[in-house]
Amino acid sequence: MTPAAGPGRLAPRLGLLDDKGCAYLHERTLDLLASVGVRFASVRARALLRAAGAEVDDESTVVRFPAGLVEMAIADAAGREVLLASRDGEHDAVLDGSTTYVGHDGMGAMTLDHRTGERRHSTDEDLRAAMIVADALEEVGFCWYVATPNDAPPAVQSLQGIATMLQGSSKHAQGDLSDPRLVPYALEVGAAASPGGVWDPQRPVFSIVYCPVSPLQHDEHALDAAMLLAEQGVPIVVYSLALAGATAPVTLAGTIVQTNAEILSGLVALQLAAPGSPFVYVGNSSIMDMRSCTYGACGPEAVLFNIALTELGHSYGFPVLSGGFSSDAKEICMQSGYEGGSMAMMSMVARPELLSGIGMLDSAGFLFLPKMVLDAEVVRQCRRVARGIDLDDRHVMLDVSARVGPGGHFLGAKETSVFLREGEHHAPEVFVRGTYDAWRASGVPEVERATKAVEEILATHEVAPLPGGGEERMRAAVAAAADALGHD
Binding interface with other proteins (CB under 8 A): 109-110, 119-121, 148, 150, 154-155, 157-158, 213, 219, 243, 245-247, 288, 290-295, 365, 488
Helix (H) or strand (E) holding 323: strand 320-323
Nearer to other proteins, 50 or 120 (CB): 120
Shortest distance, position 208 Cβ to other proteins, whole Å: 16
Q: Do residues 189 and 478 touch, judged by C-beta distance below 8 A?
A: yes
Answer positive or negative: Cα dihedral of 435, 441, 447, 448.
negative
Helix (H/G/I), strand (E/B), else coil: 486: coil
Nearer to other proteins, 1 or 293 (CB): 293
Q: What is the DSSP string of 351-394?
A: --SEEEEETEETTTTEE-HHHHHHHHHHHHHHHHHHH-EEESHH
Shortest distance, position 453 Cβ to other proteins, whole Å: 29
Nearer to other proteins, 101 or 185 (CB): 185
Answer positive or negative: Cα dihedral of 224, 226, 231, 232.
positive
Residue 96: name the closest of 348, 319, 306 by CA: 319
Amino acid found at 464: A
Largest Cα–Cα distance of the chain, in whole Å? 83
Nearer to other proteins, 155 or 413 (CB): 155
Shortest distance, position 134 Cβ to other proteins, whole Å: 21
* Rg, the chain, Cα only: 24
Shortest distance, position 450 Cβ to other proteins, whole Å: 25
Nearer to other proteins, 26 or 46 (CB): 46
Per-residue exposure over 215-224, b if at least 16 CB sit within 10 Å of its own CB, e if not: bbbbbbebbb
Shortest distance, position 269 Cβ to other proteins, whole Å: 18
Nearer to other proteins, 42 or 170 (CB): 42
Shortest distance, position 156 Cβ to other proteins, whole Å: 9
